[in-house]
Amino acid sequence: DAYFELVYSHEVLEHVPTEVVPAALAELVRVSLGRLFFTISLRLAGKDDPAAPHLHVTVKPRGWWDDQMADLGCTPDLDLLGYLWRDDRARHDDHEAWMPYQSGTPSPTLL
């Protein structure tokens, strides 16, 4: 419990079945000291055939993911997002997929 200063997941959670997402997120929050950062695709994979099983099995809008995290007591971490965006080189077209959250009072040493 509360072990990692930052829990990071890059392009993984969209591959988790929707019915398992709440438990997966709860586990990530459990092991976090307070800061979590995810990149989650909000669309089907480029190779997904609409008639076939999808690679991205949980394609939901940003608000759905925010609601899932809010149910776990987490809020968007705007300080972390601002830190990451302090340099224009960090900005890109997929910024909507950047999802920083905080639970409780995160450790200030990260920033």
pLDDT in tens, 56-111: 899 999 999 999 999 999 998 888 777 777 765 555 555 567 788 888 766 666 55
What's the whole-number mean pLDDT along residues 44-54?
76
State the distance between the two ends of the chain, measured CA to CA, in whole angstroms: 22
What's the whole-number mean pLDDT along residues 32-49?
86
Contact present, 100 and 35 (Cβ < 8 Å)? yes
Q: Which of 22-26, 37-41, 103-107 has the lowest mean pLDDT?
A: 103-107
Please report which confidence band the pLDDT of residue 23 belongs to, taking 50, 70 and 90 as the band edges: very high
